[in-house]
């Protein structure tokens, strides 16, 4: 249903945008205007036709599940019939109660998970950005053994999260390396702030290379001449970094940070395996939704998932709108600063978004 409806919607959009709204309005039908409309309609139709398979697939694998989850989130938990001892076969419709519940006492767990998720995102992405940029700078330098350094830095990113969580669980074992190194026994996998620290360390270790990789791609397209000119002008290395490298690598960096934020917001496997399920200190929204679903409460689980979806969506939107992260190449929507920067980013974009 969704699949068949969307393409006409966009087809309708096409002429609006390209030929301008007036085409459909009866504002003096001159022959020139009509000709223009006809000329632009058929390419637009063609375009709509060409993207329709994509839209169809997207609506099946993205839109439909999302709508199903939204619908499910309006239903409650199947109740137990005390007479027969059986669970009732249908879920009661509860409207928005699953959502309003988070404002009541039952919301404690949700808000705890919400703050954990936010905390992990801010701290890990912050640390990863700093470390990732440093890694990129190192990888970018020409020195002996550069290939080895590059490969070495990328290894953690190549390790599957579940495996790296197991690795770190050994490291953070009560008799593990971490405790041996600091010479003091901390029970990392018990409740408490140290559990958060363990997750953050493992997460940063694993994903800083991702930022490093994307930033490296951004670094490689900065023309050497810019640096040469700066050197001739007598700019110091830190100055070059702040005034040349950082601004020029910003589009790539923003995309990397955005991706990492979205990833971190739905963090699940690392705390789940490293520290364990149902540990308040590290429970994220994904873990909470999974826990509800595994206890056969699909309604609340969907509600939590929808809230997480909304949260992620808002963050992504904020990135695109406020920081101007350029996800879709050439989607610049005007604005003085944007247009100015656009000149710089055009050649690079192909590499970043490829």
Binding to other proteins by residue 236, rule CB under 8 A? no
Query: What is the CB neighbour count within 10 angstroms for residue 209?
Result: 24
Binding to other proteins by residue 95, rule CB under 8 A? no
Stretch of 126-134, 238-246, 274-282, 341-349 contacting other proteins, by CB under 8 A: 274-282
Binding to other proteins by residue 69, rule CB under 8 A? no
Please, what is the minimum distance in Å from the beta carbon of residue 298 to other proteins? Answer: 8
Specify the residue, 91 or 263, whose C-beta has the smaller distance to other proteins: 91
Stretch of 34-42, 79-87, 216-224, 235-243 contacting other proteins, by CB under 8 A: 79-87
- Per-residue contact track with other proteins, 290 to 319, x per CB under 8 A? -x--xxx-----------------------
- Classify the C-alpha dihedral 291-294-297-299 as positive or negative: positive
- Residues sharing a CB contact under 8 Å with residue 203, sequence separation 6 or more, in sequence order: 120, 124, 128, 264, 267, 270
Q: How far apart are CA 128 and CA 264, in angstroms?
A: 11
Binding to other proteins by residue 18, rule CB under 8 A? no
- Per-residue contact track with other proteins, 188 to 207, x per CB under 8 A? xxxxx---------------
- Residues sharing a CB contact under 8 Å with residue 69, sequence separation 6 or more, in sequence order: 302, 305, 306, 309
CB–CB of 151/135 below 8 Å?
Answer: no
Give which of 266, 304, 123 is closest to 202, Cα–Cα: 123
Binding to other proteins by residue 158, rule CB under 8 A? no
Specify the residue, 29 or 65, whose C-beta has the smaller distance to other proteins: 65
Which of 34, 61, 93, 115 contacts other proteins by CB under 8 A?
Answer: 93
Binding to other proteins by residue 67, rule CB under 8 A? yes
Strand partners, 87: 80
Binding to other proteins by residue 70, rule CB under 8 A? yes
Binding to other proteins by residue 327, rule CB under 8 A? no
Strand partners, 93: 75
**DSSP H or E segment with residue 274:** helix 269-274
Query: What is the CB neighbour count within 10 angstroms for residue 321?
Result: 10
Enumerate the H helices of 221-268 as residue ranges: 224-232, 237-240, 246-265
CB–CB of 320/251 below 8 Å?
Answer: no
Specify the residue, 70 or 127, whose C-beta has the smaller distance to other proteins: 70
Binding to other proteins by residue 173, rule CB under 8 A? yes
Applying CB under 8 A, which residues contact other proteins?
1-2, 5-6, 9-10, 13, 16-17, 63, 67-68, 70-71, 74, 77-81, 84-91, 93, 173-175, 185, 187-192, 276-280, 291, 294-296, 331, 333
């Amino acid at each position: 249903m969704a699949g068949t409806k969307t393409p006409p919607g966009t087809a309708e959009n096409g002429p609006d945008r390209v030929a301008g709204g007036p085409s459909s309005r009866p504002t003096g039908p001159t022959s020139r205007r009509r000709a223009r409309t006809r000329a632009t309609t058929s390419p637009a139709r063609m375009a709509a036709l060409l993207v329709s398979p994509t839209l169809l697939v997207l609506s099946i694998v993205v839109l439909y599940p999302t709508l199903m989850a939204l619908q499910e989130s309006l239903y409650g938990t199947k109740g137990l019939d005390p007479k027969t001892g059986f669970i009732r076969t249908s879920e009661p419709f509860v409207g928005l109660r699953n959502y309003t519940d988070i404002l009541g006492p039952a919301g404690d767990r949700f808000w705890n998970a919400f703050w954990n998720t936010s905390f992990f995102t801010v701290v890990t992405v912050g640390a990863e950005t700093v470390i990732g940029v440093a890694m990129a700078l190192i990888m970018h330098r020409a020195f002996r053994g550069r290939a080895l350094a590059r490969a070495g830095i990328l290894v953690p990113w190549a390790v599957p999260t579940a495996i790296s969580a197991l690795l770190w669980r050994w490291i953070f074992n009560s008799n593990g390396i971490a405790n041996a190194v600091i010479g003091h026994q901390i029970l990392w996998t018990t409740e408490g702030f140290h559990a958060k620290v363990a997750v953050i360390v493992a997460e940063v270790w694993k994903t800083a290379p991702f930022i490093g990789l994307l930033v490296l791609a951004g670094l490689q397209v900065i023309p050497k001449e810019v640096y040469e000119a700066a050197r001739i002008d007598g700019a110091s290395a830190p100055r070059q970094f702040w005034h040349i490298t950082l601004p020029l690598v910003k589009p790539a960096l923003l995309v990397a940070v955005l991706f990492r934020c979205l990833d971190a917001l739905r963090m699940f496997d690392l705390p789940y395996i490293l520290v364990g399920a149902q540990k308040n200190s590290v429970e994220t929204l994904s873990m909470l939704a999974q826990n509800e679903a595994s206890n056969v409460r699909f309604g609340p689980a969907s509600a939590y998932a929808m809230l997480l979806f909304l949260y992620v969506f808002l963050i992504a939107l904020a990135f695109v709108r406020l920081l101007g992260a350029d996800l879709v190449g050439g989607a610049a929507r005007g604005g003085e600063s944007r247009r100015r920067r656009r000149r710089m980013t055009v050649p690079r974009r192909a590499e970043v978004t490829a």
